[in-house]
Chain A
Amino acid sequence: MSKKAVSLKQVTFKYKNSTKFAITNVSLEINADDFLLLVGYSGSGKSTLLKTINGLIPNFYAGTFGGSIKINGEDIIDKNPAQLAKQVGFVFQNPENQISNLTVEKEIAFPLENFGVPRNEIITRIDELVELLGIERIRYKSPFSISGGEQQLTAIAAALALDPPMLILDEVTAHLSPNSANDLLKILFKLNQEHDKTIILSEHRLDRCLNYVNKIAYIEQGKLKISGSLKEVLSSKEYPENLLPKVPRLFYELARKSNDFNNFSSKFRKSFNVENLPITISDFKKLMQIEGEYHD
């Protein structure tokens, strides 16, 4: 059994100036080797949930908080984000508003400076990180003269500077082109596979993430509806059709056109197997031929 990295129990939070709870009774366990994808519509509470894991909630945002959060078995409720920075790296959605230094290198150095790391060690760490993330080229550049993808890589490098075992990323691909979003996901996959980082990623478009993640959690109006392996979640009734990845969704649309909607839907859900998920169009055609009865 793999090690527990995060354990949330009955976590509830209401922002001070808000009337309804942003998240209610969320319980979730995340293993140290997980690459978890948090899915949910806009406003469903993804950011709020993620912020409870690095102490921004309830230590930075005022509000009503309930429940317990453990990181590596340790209760973190009274630890502020700065104290947790060595355990959790956090990357935010908007690259521009999370970078406060004038060069990429200085941005990566910032957390290390905060912790009083000696200068020569800071330089060694920057060397390692720019190589790991493939951003040697922009090391001395201004974060405002580089692309959005490069800005997010800079933010990831800064979040990794203190070598936390866990990285949380809140809709980091939202401002990126499809290509740089893909590159970024590949790097996260590498961090997860080769550098043993726990990765928690929130997204509201999940297609491109499916190749890399091993778990999905679905949140709706502040409640965690379901979490587990891809297969468990995507074939569950709790999971909305609209958020299915494109190819299964195509099946779903076809089924709706056919008369036998209910029958198809349940059949599809039962037979749906993520391991055989068609990624390319030719995969899809192959699958269509097997499922001959829906040929037209």
Chain B
Amino acid sequence: MSSKILEYFDYESDKSILHQVDPRGKALFVVVITCITILFRELVPLLLILGAIIPLTFLAHFFKKWMRTILILLPLILLIIIINALLLKVEYPTTIGIIMALRLIILTAVYGLFFQTVSPDDISQMLIKFRLPFTFAWAISTAYRFIPTLANETNIIMAAQKSRGLQIDRGNIFKRARNMVPLLIPIFASAMRRSWQLAEAIESRGWNATKNRTYLYSLKMKWWDYLVILVCLAIFGLFLFLVITQVDLPIWMQLYIPSKYELKELFKAAWDWIKGLFTK
């Protein structure tokens, strides 16, 4: 499970159309969609955003992986809907629950798209273009590049400790937490050893030898990147306009789940029906 979640962050080095877009454009896209997704409180706009993003997941060859992630998150998504629907003291709690879940689904898609199509190198190049120091950019991309290695190693250590009789997923939550200690120590030790060896290696390859480092590859904006940025800014502008002017959305956008289909009501009806079965 843990490593399956990590898989979601893996960069896929294939050559989809979205891989050709400059990471700065994609970062802006992520920021804009995140803002909009969090701030919209209506169901229909969120569904529209979702509808716009699904084709993008196909373009990036990300759809299948995204669906797998959603499947893993399904219990959480259902929990969000149910808890909101039953506990919120507002007019349409089920709608709010669904909105919350939709936000989660959209954000997994957006961030997934980013990590799927932006290589760690691109991330560090992007940070350098944002004028962050190379040391920092390097640390970020290296941490990111070691995720799969460490995930793999965690699995090996887990298997090793299990084969020595450690019961990792037994007992209550405190017991389980304590069971993690024999895992954490070797994982931590090995990560320390790795980073030490890596430090030795880069030191021996002339790390920080001069102030003006050059780069084999650096980012260059193409015409389509300007287009992407323009579209993102336009969407953001439209969104700001809606927020600032406080204009009402058209009626069809203000759709909500009618009260007779509220989850609470449905549960009550189901409960009555079951009771009916027994009293008969």
Residues of A within 8 A of B (CB): 51, 54, 56, 60, 80-83, 85-86, 88-90, 92, 94, 96-102, 105-106, 109-119, 122-123, 142, 144, 158-159, 161-162
Tell me whether B205 is interfacial, beta carbon within 8 Å: yes
Given A82-B208, A85-B204, do A123 and B197 touch, yes or no (CB 8 Å)? Answer: no
Kindly state the interface size class of chain B when it binds its partner: 20 to 34
A101 proximity list for chain B (CB < 8 A)? 121
CB <8 Å contact, A113 and B198:
no
Given A113-B215, A123-B216, do A97 and B194 touch, yes or no (CB 8 Å)? Answer: yes
The 8 Å CB contact of A81, one of B145, B194, B197, B204, is: B204
User: Can you list, as one digit per residue, whether each of B208-249 has a CB less than 8 Å from chain A (1) or not (0)?
Assistant: 111011111100000000000000000000000000000000
CB <8 Å contact, B120 and A102:
yes
The 8 Å CB contact of A116, one of B13, B142, B205, B214, is: B214
In the complex, given contacts A100-B198, A159-B204, what are 9 additional A-B residue pairs having Cβ atoms less than 8 angstroms apart?
A: A56-B203, A80-B203, A82-B204, A97-B198, A106-B121, A110-B202, A159-B205, A161-B205, A162-B206
CB <8 Å contact, A82 and B203:
yes
CB <8 Å contact, B216 and A102:
no
The 8 Å CB contact of B216, one of A54, A60, A109, A142, is: A109
The 8 Å CB contact of A82, one of B119, B148, B209, is: B209
Tell me whether B169 is interfacial, beta carbon within 8 Å: no
CB <8 Å contact, B216 and A82:
no
A56 to chain B, nearest CB (A): 6
Tell me whether B200 is interfacial, beta carbon within 8 Å: yes
A288 to B57, CA, bound (A): 72
Tell me whether B188 is interfacial, beta carbon within 8 Å: no
A114 to B205, CA, bound (A): 8
Q: Sorted from nearest, which 4 A-B pairs have the closest CB atoms?
A: A98-B201, A85-B206, A97-B197, A114-B206
A99 to B142, CA, bound (A): 10
A54 to B203, CA, bound (A): 10
A88 to B216, CA, bound (A): 23
A113 proximity list for chain B (CB < 8 A)? 213-216
A159 to B204, CA, bound (A): 8
CB <8 Å contact, B216 and A116:
no
Tell me whether B267 is interfacial, beta carbon within 8 Å: no
The interface centre, meaning the residue of B197, B206, B217 with most chain A CB atoms within 10 A of its CB, is: B206
B213 proximity list for chain A (CB < 8 A)? 113-114, 116
The 8 Å CB contact of A115, one of B138, B204, B206, is: B206
Q: What are 16 A-B interface contacts by the 8 Å CB criterion? A: A54-B204, A60-B203, A88-B204, A97-B194, A97-B201, A100-B201, A106-B217, A110-B202, A110-B205, A111-B206, A112-B216, A115-B206, A115-B209, A116-B209, A159-B204, A161-B205
* B89-130, CB < 8 A from A: 119-121
CB <8 Å contact, B200 and A122:
no
CB <8 Å contact, B205 and A60:
no
Tell me whether B149 is interfacial, beta carbon within 8 Å: yes
